[in-house]
Amino acid sequence: MGAVGSKQHSRVPKASKLSDVYDNDDSVASRYNKLVSAFKSQFEGEKPKTIARSPGRVNLIGEHIDYEGYSVLPMAIGLDVIVAVSVVMKEEGNVEEDEAKATLSIANVDGEKYTPKKFPFDHEQDVDVKSHHWTNYVLCGFKGIFDQLKKQNKLESVLESAFMKRVKKVMVMVDGKVPLGSGLSSSSALNCAVTVALMDAFELSFTKGELSELTCLSERYSGTQSGGMDQAISIMGEKDLAKRIDFNPIGAMDVPLPTNLTFLIGNSCAVSKKAESAHKHYNLRVVECRLAAILMAKHYGEDIEKAKTRVTLREVADLYCNKGDLWTALGAVRKALNEGSYTKKQLEIDEGLGDLRKIFDCENNEAFNVVLQKNDTFKLRDRARHVFSEARRVHEFQKICEGQSPRYAVSGPIYEQWCKVIGLEPDVGVASDDPTKDFGHPMYGMGKEDALAKLMHLSHESCKTQYECSCDELDELVDAFMSAGALGARLTGAGWGGCVVAVCESDIAEEILADVRKSFYEKRFQSGVANIANETNLLFKTAPSAGAAISHYDDEKGVIV
Ligand code: NG1
């Protein structure tokens, strides 16, 4: 079966009953009831109108390449964020109410841990990135809706509409089940669920593609230079299908996964504090990739001022590397970029880039400003090597899922070690005049399952050694899955903590879970690093789940309609 089903032009589906979205609606029904009661008690008896949900995701392959323009291959998971919203309108002819400023009140079912906050109903307010309150992501979603209207030249007319002029207060109640800081994209699930709920409550309608793009951009208000994968799969995910998410323009193609394989998720128990550490992790990588793109453009003879306008590695590879051929791009990396790190001085003076702050528009971009203030060295070759090789692995992974025989895996340096783990003889490298020599290892003749697993494992090695976004706990958990009999395992999401995704033959999934529980989690339960009460959210099987959905609450029937 070929890649089909680009769904960006369709709208978020309306769920008329919970079983439209969830497999098990008993526990889900009580969760929705709890959301509704929390809403009523927080907002003095008001009733919710719209309830939207948007899921977390697990990325099967394609890490840290979405912001470089390359396709990634995630699937939505069953864990999601649900958001109940209602809008109270000003009473007609009530002068006092007419003059009062409208408000946006945000609360959480777990109000002790996630305290409520009230904001003005003002889409121009700033998100306070210096204090990392969970409601920041709700504000991102709120602002994104108006940004989208502006982009569509509809902002003025919507603001002047009878509906918007009469808004008195907007109430938002949230319940999240995606574990925080785990690489399963809790932040985007929240941002997307809020955006979809508010869109519906404000009587607006955007396509899935528009929602994916606007939530990608709006999440940047929280301080990370988000790439777009998480929001796109949260909005466009579908039951039983992984998706290849493309960018510029955004799209989601169905990728059927082999039915005899099961995907497992394990949380490393190392929390990745994405927003707080962005300057030395995520945003630093975005900066390094851009610098790599600029130096590659310069290597291809571009005038320095022109080269400085290059933003992504893909842009440069498409122009100069045999129309974006990834093998050629990998070869070019070795010629264009030095091994090791560049200092700021080397980049500004020796490479002639001038003030880096200007390139990254630091006056207007605080996220990049902090990166340049806090870092003096930038690794470019390893980062670019990861990006191009990972993009290639995504391509191979999709093709194999679609039935093509395995061909090449683009490997990192410890390919031999991996062969030992799964008991294969290391392949002989490819011809020595081939630019792919450091990276390419044939997979001819390999079974589909082993080949997919191999790609996942090589992806982890590349994340670990080239992109340096793994950590000891993630590596230990990858090893625990492999020793337990998984075919492949890798960190998923941004890394530096968070989760591992592993793949195994379905009939031994339970055995593997039991083994990993013993080898990785038992000691953590004992030491208190992990909470045993939370066990089912730490280690579990997962399958592709539905994406965002909208439902409406009917108080009389007391159900979702
Ligand atoms: P996490 O931090 O795991 O949700 C982040 C980015 C993605 C992508 C991955 C790395 C956001 C919201 N998400 O995911 O776009 O770049 O890292 O592949 O920033």
What does the pLDDT look like over 29-74, one tens digit per residue? 899 999 999 999 999 989 999 999 999 999 999 999 999 999 999 9
Q: Is the pLDDT higher at 440 or at 82? A: 82
Q: What is the DSSP string of 154-167?
A: -HHHHHTSHHHHTE
d(CA 479, CA 462): 15
Looking up tokens 């959905």, which residue turns up? 549
Nearest atom of ligand 1 to the alpha carbon of 493: 3
Task: Determine the pLDDT at residue 433.
Answer: 37
Least reliable range by pLDDT among 220-224, 467-471, 502-506: 220-224
pLDDT surpassing 60 at residue 187: yes
- pLDDT range class, residue 556, cuts 50, 70, 90: confident
Q: Is 545 exposed, middle or buried (0-12, 13-18, 19+ CB in 10 A)?
A: buried
Cα 48 to ligand 1 centroid, rounded to whole Å: 31
Amino acid in the structure at residue 206: F
In angstroms, rounded to a whole number, what is the distance separating the alpha carbons of residues 364 and 385?
A: 30
- Whole-angstrom CA distances from 210 to 189, 254, 365 are 16, 19, 24
pLDDT category, 441, cuts 50, 70, 90? low
Q: Which two tokens mark 290?
A: 């851009």
* Ligand 1: centre distance to CA 554 (Å): 36
Ligand 1 centroid to residue 44 C-alpha, Å: 37
The residue whose C-alpha atom lies closest to atom 7 belonging to ligand 1 is 227
- Regarding the beta carbon of 283 and ligand 1, being less than 6 Å apart is answered no
CA angle, 14 as apex, 8 and 18 as ends, to 5°? 125
* Ligand 1 binding pocket includes 454 (Cβ within 6 Å): no
* pLDDT the model gives residue 412: 45
User: Which residue reads 């600029």 in tokens?
Assistant: 294
64 lines ligand 1 (CB under 6 A): yes
Residue 425 has pLDDT above 70, yes or no: no
The closest residue, in CA terms, to atom 4 on ligand 1 is 185
| 419 pLDDT tier (thresholds 50, 70, 90) | very low
| DSSP letters for 451-484 | HHHHHHHHHHHHHHHTS----HHHHHHHHHHHHT
pLDDT score of 263: 97
pLDDT at position 92 is 82
Rounded to two decimals, what is the model's pTM?
0.90
Phi first, then psi: what are they for 244, rounded to 5°? -95, 115
Mean pLDDT for the chain? 90
Question: Does the Cβ of 67 fall within 6 Å of ligand 1?
Answer: yes
Q: How far apart are CA 351 and CA 536, in angstroms?
A: 52
Could you tell me the distance, in angstroms and rounded to a whole number, from the CA of residue 222 to the centre of ligand 1?
13
- Please check the confidence at residue 173 and state whether its pLDDT lies above 50: yes
Q: Which of 8-17, 342-351, 358-367, 501-510 has the weakest average pLDDT?
A: 8-17
Ligand 1 atom nearest residue 185's Cα: 4
- Of all protein residues, whose CA lies closest to atom 2 belonging to ligand 1? 494
CA proximity to 54, closest of 416, 546, 483: 546
The pLDDT score that the predictor gives to residue 18 is: 87
Residue 227 Cβ contacting ligand 1 at under 6 Å = yes
Indicate if ligand 1 lies below 6 Å from the C-beta of 188. Answer: yes
Residue nearest to atom 11 of ligand 1 (CA): 226
Is the CB of residue 261 below 6 angstroms from any atom belonging to ligand 1? no
d(CA 440, CA 257) in angstroms, rounded, equals 24
**C-alpha torsion angle, residues 547, 507, 458, 65 (rounded to 10):** 0
Is the pLDDT score of 429 beyond 70?
Answer: no
Q: Is the CB of 224 under 6 A from ligand 1?
A: yes
Q: How far is the CA of 245 from the centre of ligand 1 (A)?
A: 13
Q: Whose CA is nearest to atom 13 of ligand 1?
A: 226
For 226-235, 242-251, 323-332, 500-509, which range has the lowest pLDDT when averaged over its residues? 323-332
Kindly state if the Cβ of 183 falls inside 6 Å of ligand 1: yes
One DSSP character per residue, 235-288 reads: HH-BTTBEEEEETTTTEEEEEPPPTTEEEEEEE-S----HHHHTTTTHHHHHHH
Q: Over 90: is that where the pLDDT of 123 sits?
A: yes
Q: What's the gap in Å between 74 CA and the centre of ligand 1?
A: 11
Number of Cβ within 10 Å of residue 533's Cβ equals: 8
CA neighbor of 83 nearest in space, from 237, 252, 275, 234: 234
Q: What spacing in Å lies between the alpha carbon of 216 and ligand 1's midpoint?
A: 10
**pLDDT per position as a tens digit, 194-223:** 999 999 999 999 999 999 999 999 999 998
Backbone angles phi, psi at 552, to 5 degrees: -120, 145
- Mean pLDDT across the stretch 472-492? 97
Atom of ligand 1 at shortest distance to CA of 469? 10
| Residue to mutate, 230, 276, 471, ligand 1, most ligand atoms under 8 Å from C-beta | 230
The finding on whether 230 has its CB within 6 A of some atom of ligand 1 is yes
Tokens of 186: 């809790």
The CB of 187 under 6 Å from ligand 1? The reply is yes
Ligand 1 neighbourhood includes 274 CB (under 6 angstroms): yes
d(CA 324, CA 87): 49
- The identity of residue 47, as a single letter, is K
Compute the distance between CA of residue 259 and CA of residue 344 in angstroms, rounded to an integer: 50
pLDDT at 434: 41
Residue 432: per-residue pLDDT: 32
Note the pLDDT tens digit of each residue in 189-198: 999 999 999 9
pLDDT digits (tens, 9 = 90+) for 84-94: 999 999 988 77
82 pLDDT more than 70: yes
Q: Which residue has the higher pLDDT, 27 or 212?
A: 212
Give the number of the atom of ligand 1 that is nearest the alpha carbon of residue 495.
3
Q: Among 400, 451, 72, which residue's Cα sits nearest to residue 253?
A: 72
Please report, for the chain, how many H helices and E strands are present, in that order: 22, 17
Instruction: Answer for the pair 330, 411: CB distance below 8 angstroms, yes or no.
Output: no
Closest Cα to atom 17 of ligand 1: 494
Whether the CB-CB separation of 261 and 505 falls below 8 Å is answered with yes
Please state the atom number of ligand 1 nearest to the C-alpha of residue 226. 19
What local confidence, expressed as pLDDT, does residue 132 receive? 84
Eight-class DSSP state of 520: I
- The pLDDT, as a whole number, for residue 437 is 46
Residues acting as catalytic residues: 230
Q: What is the mean pLDDT of residues 359-374?
A: 95
At 192, list the tokens. Answer: 């997307």
Q: What are phi and psi of 440, to 5 degrees?
A: -95, 135
Per-residue pLDDT tens digits for 103-120: 999 999 999 999 999 999
- The pLDDT > 90 percentage for the chain reads 74
Atom of ligand 1 nearest to the CA of 67: 16
Per-residue pLDDT band at 326 (split at 50, 70, 90): confident
Instruction: Give the span between the Cα atoms of 303 and 334, in whole angstroms.
Output: 21
Task: Say how many C-beta atoms besides its own lie within 10 A of residue 253's C-beta.
Answer: 21
Which ligand 1 atom sits closest to the C-alpha of 63? 18
Residue 413 predicted with pLDDT over 70: no
What was the pLDDT predicted at 26?
75
The CA-atom distances, in angstroms, between 442 and each of 303, 334, 405, 488, 512 are 38, 21, 11, 17, 28
pLDDT recorded at residue 183: 79
CA atoms within 13 A on the CB side of 472: 0
Spacing, Cα 66 to ligand 1 middle (Å): 8
List all residues 6 or more positions away from 124 whose beta carbon is below 8 Å from its beta carbon: none
For residue 560, what are the β-bridge partners? 553
Which residue's CA is minimally distant from atom 12 of ligand 1? 226
Exposure class string for 94-118: b at 16+ Cβ within 10 A, else e: eeeeeeeebbbbbbbbeeeebeebe
Q: What is the pLDDT of residue 428?
A: 34
